[in-house]
Structure 1
């Protein structure tokens, strides 16, 4: 098997485990706080659960660019293993937490040392032939999406079978095994001598240099808006489903189905749209996906049944599957070789920012415009970004070829 395919297969598995591990705690976090950590009262449980869930994203937002900078200087595989082995240890320690504060601090630490996914993207982008870049980015994305979809399901099943604490031990062990496999099988050609002789710029200087390339701010914005648009209405989906369903019978099932159907279609369509981007050009597929995703948010505001909502969100996931892979492929194209990993780091920060801001702003706006209004806001944001991205991707930096 060709080296880039080996790297892709191993890192697909690693990406799956990392995202599954990050989302496994979702179904039982409140119960873990109540039954194992002694938190009393629904309000207090809700406050702790919110802070603990968000803590990972907050610290990740600040530290991802730093790890990207160090990747450019010391190698992507080193950063991949640092994150994988580090998160495996922190995950096991979460199982030993005795107070909610311990769990909060460990989730913050996990965000600090995280970075497996952006390091995997950077490494795959550096070892994959240019003509296969879209397919590789889409396939890698499908691994993370599969983990995010199945993580809560696996976590819920394991909680019923083993209890809450053993899940952290099992997840940490699986992350350790995935990191060990990556250590043994993943290879990269990294010129450390050349990297060490390159100018050592600060993160602020690096960001200024990257934002002078007009395509990169547009791509970072796309990443932020994808997460913002997807997550801003997410907490209100169960209420909306209840309104459409008209009864509490099987409400949890339908709410979960509506919440996960976009992930399933995303997972299926990401590699397909990746292949199309290799054939027709990543910019065309990115614009197509932005327009499609923006349009598919509109009918969600006007559906009259849960079935119609499911269909709309399924097709939304199909278009969303073409966004992150093409963004990653284009970042690899436009970022200077000496700052590729730093660019992926800032893009990862944009993603974390969308994860943080989306639910907060969505909750705040919903009191004024309702969830239907949130769908329309998301549609408008993505359609406007499609127009802006079309203009910025047409601008070619000096010295760059015009290849699609």
Structure 2
């Protein structure tokens, strides 16, 4: 247990680099696709969506397998498998000769990914229980920081050194983070004890975990959180354009709307995690869900871009209490020896929300404006808070 703070520091850095690497391509992906020979605007838009989503599709499918192997062979081993594997694949993206190469590499990257859930599982196994919320919140802030700065760094580097060198740099940084984890991160894993455990299949493992009502509730909460948060994301640039007609720097303002939410999320995650250690993660999760639901209402009513910035900043503060609380509660309710598998299933539900949310939001945009989608997110998050109350808080009290 004495090494948990050192583990947390190294894995925070690793999460930062992984998420920065995943999001760094966002600003220049359509331009890179054009460099690969696709020039028609409609085909560029199509390939951009397919290539970006390819990573999440395979990640959703393969995360449970890596979780099963982590419980059997160790979380650190899966952490290093993912880190070194993504370092190689990310570097190869810089050598892509056409869009099919890039798509297949993105799908391969999703297949071998799993650094973040492995890091969460490893920290949950090495952190003292009374520090679990703080640990999960701090770890979450690393990934959030990477998601915020990744597109910004990618945009700067694209203008400075071109597209392909960015992939080489990202691969090298992921390699460094993996080497650091290999030599510094410590895990107490009883391989002998794990070897005598029944070799349960992925489907059987899901059924076994599904018998624990708290876990099924938490998996559903993760999906609904991501779905609610991301359903409006494809429409944000158009909404900013509507609020700032004829204004300059629309791309900058659109990026800032997303970044400001991540920035406040990064600040709040460790603080709300520490609060959860004091008053209970269930209560922090419910409060955060209600707060996030309320913060979508002013977004549906804003009249200028500055009001939208303020509402999105406050939304990020409450978002900081969501996934860290879920991760701490998953460890609380997961049987010993199945932690990695449980976190991997949760990661699959998170990837599913990442895929379905923007797709449904884009489809509904023809029927509703983004203001209506904000209100739908409010309703879903309120329903989620009721779900948490019934399945986690009242059940805990025996009501």
* Distance in 1 (alpha carbons) for counterparts of 2:59 and 2:246: 40
* Distance in 2 (alpha carbons) for counterparts of 1:144 and 1:319: 16
Report the counterpart of residue 241 of structure 1 in structure 2. 240
Which has the larger displacement, 122-131 or 239-248?
239-248
Q: Unmatched 5+ residue regions in structure 1?
A: none
Which has the larger displacement, 324-333 or 152-161?
152-161
- Distance apart, 1:252 and its partner CA: 1.7
* Distance in 2 (alpha carbons) for counterparts of 1:294 and 1:394: 19
Report the counterpart of residue 125 of structure 2 in structure 1. 126
Shift in alpha-carbon separation, 1:63–1:395, aligned structure 2, 3 A? farther
Report the counterpart of residue 20 of structure 1 in structure 2. 20
| Alignment map for 1:318-333 (pairs within 5 Å) | 318-333=317-332
Report the counterpart of residue 273 of structure 2 in structure 1. 274
* Distance in 2 (alpha carbons) for counterparts of 1:66 and 1:327: 21
* 1:88–1:176 CA contact under 8 A, matched in 2: yes
* Distance in 2 (alpha carbons) for counterparts of 1:301 and 1:338: 45
* 2:282–2:393 CA contact under 8 A, matched in 1: no
Report the counterpart of residue 304 of structure 1 in structure 2. 303
Displaced runs of 4+ in structure 1, greater than 4 A? Answer: none
Q: Secondary structure at the match of 1:239?
A: helix
| Alignment map for 1:4-403 (pairs within 5 Å) | 4-35=4-35, 37-394=36-393
* Distance in 2 (alpha carbons) for counterparts of 1:60 and 1:364: 23
Q: Secondary structure at the match of 1:104?
A: helix
* Distance in 2 (alpha carbons) for counterparts of 1:395 and 1:259: 35
* Distance in 2 (alpha carbons) for counterparts of 1:48 and 1:366: 21
* Distance in 2 (alpha carbons) for counterparts of 1:121 and 1:217: 18
* 2:219–2:345 CA contact under 8 A, matched in 1: yes
* 1:214–1:395 CA contact under 8 A, matched in 2: no
- Distance apart, 1:263 and its partner CA: 0.3
- Distance apart, 1:396 and its partner CA: 5.3
* Distance in 1 (alpha carbons) for counterparts of 2:346 and 2:165: 34
Q: Unmatched 5+ residue regions in structure 2?
A: none
Q: Secondary structure at the match of 1:38?
A: coil
* Distance in 1 (alpha carbons) for counterparts of 2:44 and 2:328: 41
Q: Secondary structure at the match of 2:187?
A: coil
TM-score when normalising by structure 1: 0.97
* 1:15–1:147 CA contact under 8 A, matched in 2: yes
Number of aligned positions between the proteins:
398
- Distance apart, 1:248 and its partner CA: 3.4
Aligned CA-pair RMSD: 1.3
Which digits, 9 at most, give the CA deviation of each residue in 1:226-260, with x for residues without a partner? Answer: 21112111111111111112223222222111121
Which digits, 9 at most, give the CA deviation of each residue in 1:175-211, with x for residues without a partner? Answer: 0000000000000000100001001111111111111
Which digits, 9 at most, give the CA deviation of each residue in 1:152-189, with x for residues without a partner? Answer: 11111111111111110110000000000000000000
Which digits, 9 at most, give the CA deviation of each residue in 1:270-306, with x for residues without a partner? Answer: 0000110011110010000011011111111111111
